A and B are shown apart, each in its own frame.
Chain A
């Protein structure tokens, strides 16, 4: 918990003296990687942040998008990896709490949660199973109690997460544009700390998260209390309605140190606070403990003298503890007092802006030969392979997870979890689609192509609901940035996201970087996560029940791209090969065409073809609709491939569209006219999932058997081990 020699020197030169021990603690918290982004900040500047719907410049912790008619949507993503790896229940729960408060900070009501979870191989690793079960329970207990629906997410298991966990939580908020907090403060305004009391939990959490996970540092993990959080939400929203909030910030990593310095810096003011006034849950806490405690469910609110009484009244109505801990000054200093004595006095601009680093980077050695692999032999019985793929925890239905999350509360959830993207109705008659996607296996084999694929997949998922992508958030998770090879993968990812975002004109409205994700076993695979929001002006595509003789059209080309695929890794235990790539120009054409087909009303069901490839995508349609299907493999637009490759390649920019026979001509004509690779791949009927070459069946699996594998495998694994 200290500064590097260079940082110490820099600090001393800036403040013209040696900092005292408390000041050093405050700066160390704020200058941790977790809070300062000192390794990543320079590189993040290339991400396109502007767009016609983006409202920026008010210093929010979340991205704000204008969705018309006087309404805005806010979005943010965070992770809570280190804490969740030690104490999965509390770590995951407080991860939800933290991102919710970021949404609240803008003055919007949180209306949805999505979570991305990653663990080791739960089929073999009991500890990974324990982490998984408890992280899910933590998210459920917290989100359910708040009454914020968890509408979607994704889960991945991979050996690289052994003894570790990635718990990413995204949240979406909704509100009126006129209610957005303006984030302004003037001399004489009051600084009020609202919510949970401050204790000795989460001490130094941000530094803990800025180093590799070595020892179990339990005191650095925060304790969740969703009931207080729920009350804090209602207090803040009522205070917002009564115009009691001039500026606001949530207390997260770095506790008061970060909240105070960042607020003062962002508002261009000074803040003087008295630690003796902070409401505490433990006795004899030292000033440095108070400054860096990451106790949860706390908000920092700035109000003026006129509104202070009303704000106190609202807190009292909900019986939420608060303390008026300081005042706004003109001097741009953060001055910490204990009763009468000044114990820290620093320029907030210095504290809030760590000196940025130029980390060296170099191409990882492992990449040199990774595409150079010997292809596995095609299995004798591909029907068996398909069934095994369906019960693969990375592919099997996640209903064991999402049925534990209240995904209906708030009565906005039109398209529910378990679909491609989820859809919420908004108060202006429009609809919002959301999805997060990541793929550590692809990103390991090729960091650049891998993350671009995740972006493309998230877009495809929201497009399947009939939505146009309007904004994205990214969460960049890597190992130790001091390792040039790891830092190279980070830089590649940022470049790929930038390229895609610019080409598709999807602004990056928020994000987070999480580094030092490693254990004694080594770093995690590069795991950037992409969240995409889409807007539907009129009507979402809600999947219609597939009927006998309905047709399936495949859009896009299937290529020899099995590197990082579930097929290679799960069936053949093979890491390597060529990872799927995105041809942005073609992908854009395909996405536009699919949206046009959906909006024309011809499409009964649109399904993204991704993890597990065509074989899994077709099976899922059959399983969820309780109907068989026959697919002619020779019709699939593809490179020259073996049957197993055709079935399980995870090439991007592919969709399956279910249409009525009467619409076949029109739909195919549209695709033909736009020069998009496509085919009428088959027809639904009967009780078997069949993939045939010419007339001989390569795969024949009964739908009920496939259902049993896909629906129950994960639940059975959790329940019976």
Chain B
């Protein structure tokens, strides 16, 4: 099973994601430069975190216009699992694959810390091995991580069960405490926290098992038996 990890100029969690997919969960992971065509026969796509284009103009907005995003959109429409983490989430939002926007944290500072998120939808390709309301100890690291959407959009997100994760504590002032959402179909998921930083016990100061279930969900979706 093959996963493409898209690398934009300024991505900096690409190698971390690649390591976790390949070495921890034994998926065939391939780093794909943003001007290259998506490889054939891929089964899932990940947009990793970082500072694509140095966060110029607005986080994720330039990368959202990369050639590769057109292909990502096509695959997303076909139902392929797509995960955007941190800057990847910002790119998904800026490219219109997910609704809403990501604003500066209420602290106005970059925030790197460990927190907990709560699973609100366990039907997505990245959460199907998790229990509803299960708490996941996870690392966050962002300056523009405050999810924002207007009332109408928020109501739709709730109605369509598109809220995938919420924070377990007040972290950055996000609307409805949202940490991650999906598209209506559920196959495209964006999240600000970093599952790839949280799925190995040696670097997770709490419990790495819940975060590892995000990747095991993907394995499950792709029909890989552990």
Interface residues of A (CB under 8 A from B): 140-141, 144-147, 225-227, 230-231, 317-319, 402-414, 416, 425
Task: Return chain A residues, CB-CB under 8 Å to B16.
Answer: 409-411
**Cα of A405 to Cα of B142 in the assembled complex, Å:** 10
Residues of B with C-beta under 8 A to A411: 16, 19-20, 196-197, 200, 203
Question: What 1/0 flags go to B112-150 for Cβ under 8 Å of A?
Answer: 110000000000000000000000000101010000000
Contact: A425 with B203, CB < 8 Å? yes
Report the separation of the CA atoms of residues A402 and B9 in the bound assembly, to the nearest whole angstrom: 26
Are B51 and A403 interface neighbours, CB within 8 A? no
**At the interface with chain A, which of B52-60, B151-159, B212-220?**
B52-60
Q: How far is the CB of A103 from chain B (nearest CB, A)?
A: 16
Query: Which chain B residues border A147 with CB–CB below 8 Å?
Result: 12-13, 50-51
Q: Which of B33, B51, B113, B196 contacts A230 (CB 8 A)?
A: B51
The 8 A CB mask of B71-85 against A (1 = contact, 0 = none) is 000000000000000
The answer to whether B9 and A318 have CB atoms under 8 Å apart is yes
How many angstroms between the C-alpha atoms of A392 and B112 in the bound complex? Answer: 24
> Within 8 Å CB of B67, what residues of A?
none
- Chain B nearest CB from A515 CB (Å) reads 34
The minimal Cβ–Cβ distance linking A591 to chain B, given in whole angstroms, is 25
The 6 closest A-B pairs by CB, nearest first: A147-B12, A227-B54, A145-B51, A406-B141, A411-B16, A406-B112
Cα(A411)–Cα(B202), bound, Å: 10
**Bound: A408/B205 CA distance, A:** 12
Contact B10–A403 (Cβ < 8 Å): no
Q: Distance (Å) between the CB of A513 and the closest chain B CB?
A: 32
For B113, list chain A residues within 8 Å (CB). Answer: 403
Chain A, Cβ-Cβ closest to B53: A227
Q: Which residues of B contact A140 (CB under 8 A)?
A: 109-110
Chain A residues within an 8 Å CB radius of B54 = 145, 225-227, 230
* Interfacial chain A residues near B111, Cβ < 8 Å: 403-404
Q: What are 6 residue pairs bridging A and B, where the CB atoms are less than 8 Å apart in the complex?
A: A227-B10, A230-B9, A403-B112, A406-B110, A410-B16, A411-B20
Q: B202 contacts which of A230, A318, A414 (Cβ < 8 Å)?
A: A414
**A411 — nearest CB in chain B belongs to which residue?**
B16
Bound together, the chains give a CA A344 to CA B196 distance in angstroms of: 54
The answer for the CA separation of A227 and B139 in the assembled complex, in Å, is 23
With A and B bound together, what is the CA distance between A405 and B109 in angstroms?
10
Determine the residue in chain B with the shortest Cβ distance to A148.
Answer: B12
Which A residues lie within 8 Å of B20 (CB)? Answer: 411
Contact A409 B110 (CB under 8 A): no
Shortest distance between the CB of B80 and any CB in chain A (Å)? 26
Nearest CB on A from B66, distance (A): 12
Contact with A407, one of B33, B109, B112 (Cβ below 8 angstroms): B112
Which of A227, A319, A404 sits near B51, CB closer than 8 Å? Answer: A227
Q: Bound complex: CA of A319 vs CA of B33, how far in Å?
A: 13
* Contact partners of B197 in chain A: CB under 8 A: 408-409, 411
Nearest A residue to B51 by beta-carbon distance? A145
A408 with B194: CB separation less than 8 A: yes
A225: chain B residues at CB < 8 Å are 54
Please, which residues of chain B bring their CB within 8 A of the CB of A227?
A: 9-10, 51, 53-54, 56
Given contacts A144-B143, A405-B110, A414-B202, 12 further A-B contacts (CB under 8 A): A140-B110, A141-B110, A144-B110, A145-B12, A225-B54, A227-B51, A230-B9, A403-B111, A409-B12, A409-B197, A410-B16, A414-B203
In chain B, positions 164-184 with a C-beta closer than 8 Å to chain A are: none
B202 neighbours in A (Cβ, 8 Å): 414, 425
Smallest CB gap from A542: residue in B: B205
- Docked Cα-Cα span, A231 to B52, in Å, equals 11
A63 to B125, CA, bound (A): 46
Contact A317 B33 (CB under 8 A): yes
Contact flag A145-B9 (CB < 8 Å), given A407-B112, A408-B197: no
A113 to chain B, nearest CB (A): 13
Please report the C-alpha to C-alpha distance between residue A227 and residue B54 in the assembled complex, in whole angstroms. Answer: 5
Q: How far is the CA of A145 from the CA of B13 in the complex (A)?
A: 11
CA distance A231 to B55 in the complex (A): 14
Output the residue of B19, B50, B53, B200 with the most chain A CB within 10 A. Answer: B50
Q: Name the one of B12, B13, B53, B112 contacting A404, with C-beta atoms under 8 angstroms.
A: B112
Distance of A98 from chain B, by nearest CB (Å): 18
Closest to B13 in A: A409
For A410, list chain B residues within 8 Å (CB): 16
How far apart are the CA atoms of A410 and B20 in the complex, in Å? 11
Taking the closest CB of chain A, its distance from the CB of B196, in whole angstroms, is 7
- Residues of chain B contacted by A318 (CB below 8 angstroms): 9
Residues on the B chain within 8 Å of A403, using CB: 109, 111-113
- List of B residues within 8 angstroms of A405 by Cβ: 110, 112
Complex: A145 Cα to B87 Cα, angstroms:
11
Q: Find residues 90-111 in chain B having any chain A CB closer than 8 Å to their own CB.
A: 109-111
The listed residue with most A CB atoms (<10 A of its CB), out of B16, B33, B56, is B16
Residues of A within 8 A of B10 (CB): 145, 227, 230-231
Q: Roughly how many angstroms separate A11 CA and B20 CA in the complex, as a whole number?
A: 58
Of chain A, the residue at the smallest CB distance from B112 is A406
Binary interface profile of B, 193-209, with partner A (CB < 8 Å = 1, else 0)? 01011001011010000
- A403-B202 Cα distance, complex, nearest whole Å: 20
Q: Give the docked Cα–Cα distance between A406 and B145 (Å).
A: 14
> Whole-angstrom distance between the alpha carbons of A141 and B141 in the complex?
12
Interface centre among A404, A405, A409 (most CB of B within 10 A): A409
Known A319-B9, A411-B196; contact A144-B51, beta-carbon cutoff 8 A = yes
By beta carbon, the residue of chain B nearest A146 is B12
Kindly provide the distance from the CB of B112 to the nearest chain A CB, expressed in whole angstroms: 5
Q: Which residue of B lies closest to A543 (CB)?
A: B205
Q: Which residue of A lies closest to B143 (CB)?
A: A144
With the chains together, A145 CA to B59 CA distance in Å?
11
Q: A317-B33, A411-B203, A414-B203 are in contact. Are A404 and B9 (CB under 8 A)?
A: no
CA of A318 to CA of B53, assembled, Å: 11
- In the complex, which residue of chain A has the Cβ closest to the Cβ of B52? A227
Contacts of A412 in B (CB 8 A): 203
Chain A residues whose CB sits within 8 angstroms of the CB of B53 once the complex forms: 227
Q: What is the chain A residue whose CB lies nearest that of B54?
A: A227
Q: Is the CB of A408 within 8 A of B203?
A: yes
Are B109 and A404 neighbours in the complex by a CB distance under 8 Å?
yes
Contact status B112-A408, CB under 8 Å: yes
Once bound together, how far apart are the Cα atoms of A318 and B197, in whole Å?
26
**Given the complex, which residues of A lie within 8 Å of B9, measured CB to CB?**
227, 230-231, 318-319
CB distance from A697 to the nearest CB of B (A): 33
Q: Are B55 and A145 in contact (CB under 8 A)?
A: yes
A146 to B196: give the CA distance in the assembly, Å.
Answer: 18
Assess the B203–A413 pair: CB atoms within 8 A: yes
**B200: A residues at CB distance < 8 A:** 411
A542: min CB distance to chain B, Å: 8
Q: Are B33 and A404 neighbours in the complex by a CB distance under 8 Å? A: no
Complex Cα spacing A319 to B10, Å: 12
**Cβ–Cβ < 8 Å partners of B194 in chain A:** 408
Please name the residue on chain A nearest to B15 by beta carbon: A410
Q: Is the CB of B141 within 8 A of A408?
A: yes
- Complex CA gap A319/B111 in Å reads 30
Q: Which residues of B contact A317 (CB under 8 A)?
A: 33
- Measured in the bound complex, the distance between the Cα atoms of B33 and A412 in whole Å is 24
Q: Chain B residue with minimal CB distance to A145?
A: B51
Q: Which residue of B lies closest to A400 (CB)?
A: B109
List B26-68 residues whose CB lies under 8 Å from chain A. 33, 49-51, 53-56
Q: In the complex, which residue of chain B has the Cβ closest to the Cβ of A540? A: B202
Instruction: Specify which chain B residues have a CB less than 8 angstroms from the CB of A404 in the assembled complex.
Output: 109-112
- CA separation between A388 and B19, bound complex, in Å? 46
In the complex, A145 Cα to B50 Cα: how many Å? 7
Q: Which of A406, A414, A416 neighbours the largest number of chain B CB atoms within 10 Å of its CB?
A: A406
Bound state CA distance, A141 and B143, in angstroms? 10
Complex CA–CA separation, A466 to B86 (angstroms): 34
Q: Measured between C-beta atoms, what is the minimum distance from A467 to chain B in Å?
A: 16
Q: How far is the CB of A428 from chain B (nearest CB, A)?
A: 14
